[in-house]
Amino acid sequence: MRKIKISAIVSVLTLLWLSACTLNDLENVNQPTPDQFSRNASVAQLNTLVTGSIAQMRANYDLYIDDVGVIGRESYRFSGSDPRYTSDLPGANGAPLDNNAFYTTNPYASRYATVKTLNILIDAVNNTNIPAEPAKQAYLGVAKTLKAHELLMVLNMQYDNGIRVEVSDAENLGPFLSREESFAAIASMLEEGAAHLANAGTEFPFSLPSGFAGFTTPATFRQFNRGLAARVAVYRSRFDEALTFLNESFLDLNGNYSKGVYLDYSAGSGDRLNSFYLAPNATGDIRLAHPSWVAEAEPTDTRLSKVLQRNAPATSSNLTGTHDIYIYRSNTDPTPVILNEELVLIYAEAQIQAGNLAEGTSALNKIRANAALLPYAGPTDKDSLITEMLKQRRYSLFMQGHRWIDMRRYNRLNQLPIDRPGDVVHVQFPRPFPEVGVQGG
C-alpha cells in the first residue's frame, strides 16, 4: 500500500485555520471549490478527498497526545520555546487552562479541519453520479467512521462543554450539544457508517494507506468501525453495548495485540513526519515518562521498553524525569488509531462491569501474559478488578491518549500524582476563544 501524500489533497483544496466566525472554511481561488465538488466531483476527486482526510488526521496528533498525556500524568513535555507545557498543562498554582493558547485551539482546529474535508466528501457523494450504489455506500461508510473518530477526540478534550457536531454549513453552525448528546451523536454516526459499510460490496473504489492494512475492504473496515463503537460505549458506561460491538470488531483475545489501524508518516516530498518522535537524550525539546509510570510498573513488564533511561536526568520548572519516551524509534514510525490490545482491555472492562468477573480476569491475564507478567493474584472483587484493569490500560495504552480519560470517567482524577505544591489536575479544556460568542456557542 502506498503512503499518504499531503500533496495529493493540497493539489485540490487548501485547509485554512479556525476563524472567529466559522470552522475551518475551505478556500482555494485557483483550484476547484467545495461547491464544485458537490456539483460534479469525479471518482478521482472523491478519492483525493478520502486520501486528504486521512492525511489531515495526523495534524497536531502529537500536540493532542502531549495535552492529555501531561494532564493525565503520563508524561512531561519540556520545550525550550514554550514554558506552558510545564506551567499551564500540569496546573501550576491552580491556574485554569487558557482558551486562546495553542494547546487548546490547535488540536480543536485540526480535528474540525478533518471534519470539514469529510463533510465535503459526504456532500459530494450524495450529489454526484458515481459508478454504482455500493461505491457510494463505501465512501459514506468510511467518511462517517473517520468523522466520528475526529469528533470523539474533540469531545475527549471538551468533555462537559460539549461539542458542535453539525458544522457542514459554515454560515449556520449547529449548536453545542451536551456531553451526553455529543456522545449519542458520535455513536449514531458510527452506526450510520457501519450500515453503509454493510451495503458497500466487497471492495472499495479507492485505496487506503498502509496503516490501514488488514482493513481495506468494506467488511474489514466495518470491524474497525465496530471497535471505535466499543470505545465510545465504554466511555458512556454502556458495557453491554460494548460487548455487542466487540463481537463485530477485530477483537482477537489470542491474536496479535499490535494489529489495528495506524496513521502513516514518511520523509517523502509533501508528506508529514511523525513529530512525536524525539531522539533519546535530547536537550531543549524533550518528552519524558512521568516518574510514577516507571516507579509503579512491575519490574519484569516488557512494556517498560516504551521508555529509555537517559544518560542524565532532565529538569525543568521543578519537574524531573529520568526516562525518555521511546515508543517511536524514528520519525517515520506510524501512530495507532485503535489496536487489538485496546479491544481486549475493553472486553475485560465490559465483562467485569457486567459481573462476569472470572471472564474479565481471564482477559486481563492475557494482557499480563503478553507483557511477560504472571497472572493477576490480587483480590477478585469488582472494585479491585477495575483497579487492575485501569493499571493494565495505563501500561498497554501508554501515550495513546487514554489515561486522563480513563481516570476521569472513573472519578479518579484525584488519584493522579501532584508533583509540585499548588498543581492541579484539569478536568477539561476550555471552549476555544474563537468559539466564545459565536452564534450557536
- 117 burial (CB, 10 Å; 0-12 / 13-18 / 19+) is buried
Q: Please check whether residue 369 lies inside any domain of the structure.
A: yes
Q: Please check whether residue 89 lies inside any domain of the structure.
A: yes
Q: Contacts from 302-305 at CB under 8 Å and sequence distance 24+? A: 302/371, 302/372, 303/371, 303/395, 303/396, 303/398
Q: Please check whether residue 37 lies inside any domain of the structure.
A: yes
The pLDDT of residue 132? 80
Mean pLDDT within 164-176: 93
Mean pLDDT within 15-30: 34
User: Grid coordinates representing 145?
Assistant: 467512521
Q: Is the pLDDT assigned to residue 21 strictly greater than 90?
A: no
Q: Residue 9: what residue type?
A: I
Half-sphere exposure for 405 (CA within 13 Å, toward CB): 25
> Strand ranges (DSSP E) for 165-204?
none
Q: Please check whether residue 279 lies inside any domain of the structure.
A: no
User: In which element (H, E) is residue 320 found?
Assistant: strand 319-325
pLDDT digits (tens, 9 = 90+) for 266-288: 999 889 999 999 999 999 899 99
Q: Please check whether residue 292 lies inside any domain of the structure.
A: no
Q: How many structural domains comprise the chain?
A: 1
The pLDDT of residue 35? 64
What's the rounded Cα separation, in Å, for the pair 334 and 150? Answer: 18
Least confident of 122-136, 173-187, 213-227, 237-251: 122-136
pTM: 0.92
The pLDDT of residue 374? 98
Residue 102 pLDDT level (bands cut at 50, 70, 90): very high
Q: Please check whether residue 317 lies inside any domain of the structure.
A: no
The pLDDT of residue 38? 63
Q: Please check whether residue 287 lies inside any domain of the structure.
A: no
Nearest to 231 by CA among 213, 249, 257, 216: 249
What's the rounded Cα separation, in Å, for the pair 97 and 173? Answer: 25
Half-sphere exposure for 318 (CA within 13 Å, toward CB): 10
172: domain CATH number is: 1.25.40.390
Domain region containing 266? 6-273+333-420
Mean pLDDT within 322-330: 97
C-alpha distances in Å from residue 295, one per residue of 303, 304, 348: 13, 10, 25
Is residue 372 left, alpha or beta, with left meaning phi > 0 and alpha meaning psi from -120 to 50?
A: left
Where is pLDDT greater, at 4 or 123? 123
Beta bridge partners of 319: 316
Average pLDDT, the chain: 91
Whether residue 182 contacts residue 161, with contact meaning beta carbons closer than 8 Å, is answered with no
Place of cell 457536531: 165
Residue 437 pLDDT level (bands cut at 50, 70, 90): low
What's the rounded Cα separation, in Å, for the pair 335 and 69? Answer: 15
Q: Is the pLDDT assigned to residue 160 strictly greater than 80?
A: yes
Q: Please check whether residue 416 lies inside any domain of the structure.
A: yes
